[in-house]
Amino acid sequence: MNTNALAASSSVVPLVIEEFQRLARARVVRWQTLDQLSQNLCDECKAATKCPDNRRLLQYGVFLLHDRFALVSRPERKLLVALCELVVRSMRSSAMSVSFASLFLSTEFVHVASRTISALLSRIFDHIGHTDLSKVVDGRAVASFIAVLDLFSGCSTDKWVLLRDNAPVASILETLCVKMSTPCATRAHILTLQKVLFAGLKGVRQPLSDQSIDELFRVIVRFMRTANFDAGEACATFVQLLKAPALTMAFSENSLLLVKELNLFADCISFLSSVKSQSELLALGTFETLHLVANLIHLGNADRETTTQKLLEWARLVNILLQKCIQKGGSHRPSNCWHHPLLGWTSERIDERDQVCFARLRAQLSRLWSCDMVRCLSDHFLSRVPISTSSLETRQKMAQKHSLFFARRHSSAAQESEHNESGTGPSSNLPLFQMFLRKLPTRPSCSTLSATTSSTTVAEGSDIVGQQQQRNKPTRHSTKNSRTANVCAVTVPLVPFPPITPTVVLCQLYRSALLAFPNSESEILASLGRDDTLVLQHLWQFLNEQPAPPPPPQQKRREDGTAIEDVRLRTYLGYLVSDPEVLAAQFAPLQLFIDITFTLISILDEREMYECERPFGRDQLRQIAKFVNLFCFHALWNELIDFEKDLPSKLFNSVYRLLQILFNRDCRRPFTGVPNFWTVDELSPKALIADFVGGTGFLLPPLSAAVSSSPATKRTHILMDKMPHVIPLRDRIVLFRKLIRQDKESVDTSTTIITVERSRLIEDGYSQLGNLSLAAIKGTVRVKFINQQGLDEAGIDQDGVFKEFLELTLKRVFDPDLNLFKSTSDKLLYPSSTSTIHDNHLELFQFVGRMLAKAVYEGICVDVQLAPVLLAAVLGKQLHPFDELATLDPVLYKNLTFLKHYSDSDDVADLELTFCAQDEFLGRVTTVELISGGRDIKVDNENKVSYIHLMAHHRVVKQIRDQTKHFVLGFRAIIQPKWLALFNTHELQHLISGKMSDLDLNDLRKHVQYYGGFHSGHRVVKWLWAILEQEFSMEERHLFLRFVTSCSRAPLLGFGYLEPCFSIRCIETSDDLDQGDTLGSVIRGFLGINKRSKQPINDRLPTASTCFNLLKLPNYTKRSVLLEKLRYAIHSDTGFELS
């Protein structure tokens, strides 16, 4: 290297070093400046009450948004969030020096401010896609980003406070906002925002507030408009948004106005109602479908104008989606399923992140059965005029209205119109409502949607009948028998389905909701029945005005048959013949009417039902009762219901449920006014019973071309199990006693002897009889009593002593003081919820059940009055808890009735009640949730009916479930359940204690036996019958019967079935000196001669041996003495003596 080069290099090195030093100092200064600005920015952001002036804020933005700081990192994101918060805060100010909006009004700063905002929006999209909303910090950052995007994607005077009173300037700045946001309005960014929106609605807690969700939705809509989405793309995007759980619950008035202004809701309905969207609907999962239908219902309730214009399409769409939500499990748990609080048991796994939105989804769905929505739909749908295509031309024109949203919609709509007119479209030449009928789902299955796309057009009701006849060809064949007419001969001809009316459409919609949301069934029905003039009376009128079906052709009418006279009955039974699967939509009005009626009647008190006559008068109630009774009978007898399926017809179950509650109400307090109202005139009881017992094997001939019979014995057993009341009670009791006699003949005839101390009746009886086999208990049981001295009592048990043992034992175990049972104010007995104070209380209940059943088995009437709820459990039935609450807990019943009629304010929520009950035992109060999470669910106007039902069920059923279960086990061990099925609760009580009616003295005279010289012509006997008939009141006659037999009620079949038979004996001495009848005593009694004794005969009282149903009368000399002594004796309750 030469000298010159060295000199040159030595002179350059200092310059390079100096340049490096300068660059380093500049970088340090810049970083120091940035750090200082960042610190200042954070300090100003923390000062919540202050906001920097807009120029300083712009300076912050210019520095922070410089390209060299565009790193996606956590520290830089913190500064970006702070900048966004300050920008949002400044836009809320009306001061020119503070509001960032004033910079856009200045020619000096407008360009810098717009570039800064554009860079800020771009930087937001660099960060928003890398956030995790499960973290609180990221949730706050995203909320700030969304607020800025909402501010500058459109100039809203609500957000730009400075321009609130300056609309012309706002419209100019709207264009500037579109220009600033255009680079960000890309499909990729819109997709990113959609993901953020879905993530913001899911989680253990909702990550984003409703305000942020609302702002984000508006940003997406504006970006779609800025990006010039075409009609199909926009609708698809909007549908995707509606799949977000409870999205519309976050909408503000501005967002709802935006949806309506841009016709988004109407376009969405048309898009989803098109045939092209069927595949997309099919691909939806259950929860996506639930979210979509909830948002559509909420929008339909919020935008009534659009809903009214698109009513048929909206109803059809909601109906289809609700049908797709129906789960096979429903309220019953199948295998490998998860419980959804709205859908019941579902086969799809529930995402834990969706749990936060369940309450909001419920609120959305409840809009469908809210008062306003029900009234709106009722006004438009509850019409009896069939829907014709001519009435829909106006709606079709509305559907073709151009959207304000897209400029290119005109061309695409024209192309679609040409496509349909050319006949190439799937809906060409098909009226809109026929498309609706074709796609109207009727089967509660997720395969509905696929079936609708391939179903044939339903133009007339007769077409449906033709399809039903082909689909429902009978598979069972009958064997004719001439004896069939002796049982029942009534024809049920096939009835064609009429055209679908708006009423049918509305009822089908709510039926789908009831099937989709089994946990909300009572709430839905209560809402529909809240104003009975709104839906219920319209449905009743609709059912009454059904056109009479055409009579069956003469060649098809059976020679031995008669037609059903009731038009309603003949119509719907004919529908059932046409469609045994109950798939047709024409069943919906009847189904909904029955369900609403049941819900209302189940919570009516007697004052409302019998005095106020709400919601039906007596005549209407009788008509409804007659209809449901005959409908169930003919459906069973004609085998229109297939009980071999796991779940029989939902329609039949509903009608049968209403039949039961009306029948029980009538038994408790009659409203029918006719003795044989519930029997069927066309039925021959003797022939039916003969078939039930003997299985004669005769068959019924076919009742129609579409239905054939099976062996009559199977049908008879089903009828006797479901509707025994169609047979007169006396015939059923005779059958019951016959079945017991047959059973006695089949069991072991060995005799069991037990020894019982009178002071230890329960203990000794339980220890010796509790472990006996059923055959031994059903057989003969002899009892030897041990007196207080420990000696055997004299006498031989010939059934009488065992009867006394049963009476005394049952009297003690049913004594409320023992706390196994409690007594109502009407002296009705039911299990005590606090019976756990006894160590073996459940075994005792089983023993008591056996002993009471033994009394019934032997035909012994005992004076035990059980509460209907316990009797129903013995029969395997369940009465409605609210009905029984009036007797079991009058205080709670009064409080729930007050809640039902609460009118102190507009909302029951003011009472601060939750779905919990408080149980007290030995001073300790326990809180029990009526439903899962009930502590956090408040009672309001919408769910108060559900609360009333659940509270009544808890008090009447759940609290005594274990005790009732063991009592029933003991009772049914002696008497078979199929025998018990012959009776209802009131009739079972009559079996136990006899019927409470005036005594039939003529019947008692026919079945009396006389001893000790008494005979029917004896003067004392004549006096006795005259006193009973003329001097005693009905109450005293019952006391007399109780004095003699220990039971105040006569046997149901009369005194001929009293065991042992009633007898009267003439006595000469007191009971302790009585040695029985002798020849002398019989002669003296016959001749009316009294034996000389220390105690005058007229001073003695009548006595009775209740174990033998024996009345012991002294040979009184005067009728007045007999009247006085007998009246004294029966009122003294001294009948429990043993001779």
pLDDT digits (tens, 9 = 90+) for 760-812: 888 888 888 888 888 888 888 888 888 777 777 665 555 667 888 888 899 89
List beta partners, residue 756: 785
Residue 699 and residue 750 in one domain: no
Q: Which of the four pLDDT bands, split at 50, 70 and 90, describes residue 421?
A: very low
Answer yes or no: is 813 within a domain. Answer: yes
- Statement: residue 707 has pLDDT above 50: no
Answer yes or no: is 380 within a domain. Answer: no
DSSP 8-state symbol, 578: H
- Statement: residue 814 has pLDDT above 90: yes
pLDDT of residue 249: 92
- Of 496-500, 602-606, 1001-1005, where does mean pLDDT reach its minimum? 602-606
pLDDT of residue 344: 82
Q: Which of the four pLDDT bands, split at 50, 70 and 90, describes residue 385?
A: low
CA-based nearest residue to 947, from 891, 899, 894 = 899
pLDDT digits (tens, 9 = 90+) for 146-161: 999 999 998 887 788 8
Taking the alpha carbons of 624, 630, 633, 635 in that order, is the dihedral positive or negative? negative
Answer yes or no: is 926 within a domain. Answer: yes
Residue 968 and residue 1044 in one domain: no
pLDDT of residue 411: 38
**Higher per-residue confidence, 562 vs 533:** 533
**Higher per-residue confidence, 836 vs 70:** 836
pLDDT of residue 643: 72
Provide the CATH number for the domain around residue 906. Answer: 3.30.2160.10
**Could you give the maximum distance between any two Cα atoms of the chain, in Å?**
175
Q: Which tokens hold the place of 131? A: 């956030």
Question: Could you tell me the pTM of the whole model?
Answer: 0.74
How many angstroms separate the Cα of 466 from the Cα of each of 342, 472, 640, 681, 944? Answer: 37, 10, 18, 34, 46
Residue 806 and residue 749 in one domain: yes
Q: How far apart are CA 447 and CA 418, in angstroms?
A: 32
Residue 1006 and residue 989 in one domain: no
Q: What are phi and psi of 117, to 5 degrees?
A: -65, -40
Please confirm, yes or no, whether 51 is among the known catalytic residues.
no
Residue 576 and residue 711 in one domain: yes
The mean per-residue pLDDT over the stretch 419-447 comes to 40
- How many domains, the chain? 6
> Burial of 825 by CB count in 10 Å (0-12 exposed, 13-18 middle, 19+ buried)?
exposed
List beta partners, residue 783: 754
Q: Decide: 269 and 303 in contact? Cβ < 8 Å.
A: no
Residues 6+ apart with CB under 8 A from 393: none
Domain boundary among 993, 1012, 1038: 993
Residue with tokens 């809509």: 221
How many angstroms separate the Cα of 511 from the Cα of each of 75, 322, 572, 579? Answer: 56, 9, 17, 17
Q: How far is Cα of residue 651 from the mean position of the Cα atoms in its chain?
A: 15
For residue 386, the one-letter residue type is P
Q: Which of the four pLDDT bands, split at 50, 70 and 90, describes residue 423?
A: very low
CA-based nearest residue to 266, from 320, 218, 307 = 307
Q: How far is Cα of residue 258 from the mean position of the Cα atoms in its chain?
A: 38
CB < 8 Å & 24+ apart, contacts of 289-292: 289/321, 289/324, 289/325, 290/325, 290/342, 290/343, 290/361, 291/242, 291/243, 291/244, 291/245, 291/246, 291/247, 291/361, 292/239, 292/242, 292/243, 292/321
Q: Decide: 1131 and 1039 in contact? Cβ < 8 Å.
A: yes
Domain boundary among 202, 228, 254: 228
Q: Which of the four pLDDT bands, split at 50, 70 and 90, describes residue 444?
A: very low
Query: String of b and e for 631-649 (b: at least 16 CB within 10 Å)?
Result: bbbbbbbbbbbeeeeeeeb
pLDDT digits (tens, 9 = 90+) for 958-982: 999 999 999 999 999 999 998 998 8
Q: Which of the four pLDDT bands, split at 50, 70 and 90, describes residue 482?
A: very low
Given 45, 184, 1047, 1107, which residue is catalytic? Answer: 1107
Residue 701 and residue 805 in one domain: no
pLDDT of residue 986: 87
- Strands laid side by side in the 1008-1011 sheet: 1008-1011, 1062-1067, 1110-1114, 1103-1105
- Of 33-37, 116-120, 233-237, 742-746, where does mean pLDDT reach its minimum? 33-37
pLDDT of residue 457: 31
Answer yes or no: is 484 within a domain. Answer: yes
pLDDT of residue 838: 87
E strands, 679-779, in order? 751-757
Helix, strand counts (H, E) of the chain = 49, 14
- Statement: residue 66 has pLDDT above 80: no
* Mean pLDDT, the chain, integer: 78
Query: To the nearest whole percent, how much of the chain has pLDDT over 70?
Result: 77
pLDDT digits (tens, 9 = 90+) for 858-889: 888 888 999 999 999 999 887 888 888 888 88
Residue 17 and residue 120 in one domain: no
pLDDT of residue 1097: 76
CA-based nearest residue to 382, from 472, 502, 482, 522 = 502
pLDDT of residue 775: 85
Residue with tokens 């993901």: 195
Residue 790 and residue 936 in one domain: no
Domain boundary among 210, 228, 246: 228
pLDDT digits (tens, 9 = 90+) for 111-123: 999 999 999 999 8
The mean per-residue pLDDT over the stretch 1041-1055 comes to 83
CA distance from start to end of the chain? 151
The mean per-residue pLDDT over the stretch 257-276 comes to 88
The mean per-residue pLDDT over the stretch 198-216 comes to 88
Answer yes or no: is 820 within a domain. Answer: yes
How many angstroms separate the Cα of 1040 from the Cα of each of 924, 1005, 1048, 1125, 1126? Answer: 46, 14, 8, 12, 8
- Statement: residue 199 has pLDDT above 80: yes
- Of 328-342, 497-511, 654-668, 961-975, where does mean pLDDT reach its minimum? 328-342
**Higher per-residue confidence, 374 vs 549:** 374
pLDDT of residue 904: 58
Q: Decide: 145 and 128 in contact? Cβ < 8 Å.
A: yes
Q: Decide: 710 and 478 in contact? Cβ < 8 Å.
A: yes
Which domain covers residue 186, as residue numbers?
Answer: 51-228
Q: Decide: 147 and 82 in contact? Cβ < 8 Å.
A: no
Q: Decide: 90 and 99 in contact? Cβ < 8 Å.
A: yes
Q: How far apart are CA 317 and CA 307, in angstroms?
A: 12
The mean per-residue pLDDT over the stretch 829-846 comes to 90
pLDDT of residue 490: 60
**Higher per-residue confidence, 788 vs 364:** 364
Residue with tokens 């748990």: 333
In 310-370, which residue ranges form alpha helices assigned H by DSSP? 311-325, 358-365
Residue 978 and residue 1073 in one domain: no
Residue 623 and residue 480 in one domain: yes
List beta partners, residue 792: 786
Answer yes or no: is 806 within a domain. Answer: yes
**Higher per-residue confidence, 378 vs 339:** 378
**Higher per-residue confidence, 28 vs 541:** 541
pLDDT digits (tens, 9 = 90+) for 1066-1125: 886 655 445 555 555 555 555 555 555 545 777 888 988 887 888 989 888 889 999 999
pLDDT of residue 278: 80
Query: To the nearest whole percent, how much of the chain has pLDDT over 90?
Result: 23
Answer yes or no: is 324 within a domain. Answer: no
Residue 852 and residue 978 in one domain: yes
Cα-based angle 643, 646, 652 (whole degrees, multiple of 5): 50
Q: What are phi and psi of 986, to 5 degrees?
A: -65, -35
Q: Which of the four pLDDT bands, split at 50, 70 and 90, describes residue 712?
A: low
Count of all residues that appear for the chain in the document: 1139
Answer yes or no: is 321 within a domain. Answer: no
Q: Which of the four pLDDT bands, split at 50, 70 and 90, describes residue 194?
A: very high
Q: Decide: 102 and 54 in contact? Cβ < 8 Å.
A: yes
The mean per-residue pLDDT over the stretch 255-270 comes to 90
Residue 952 and residue 967 in one domain: no
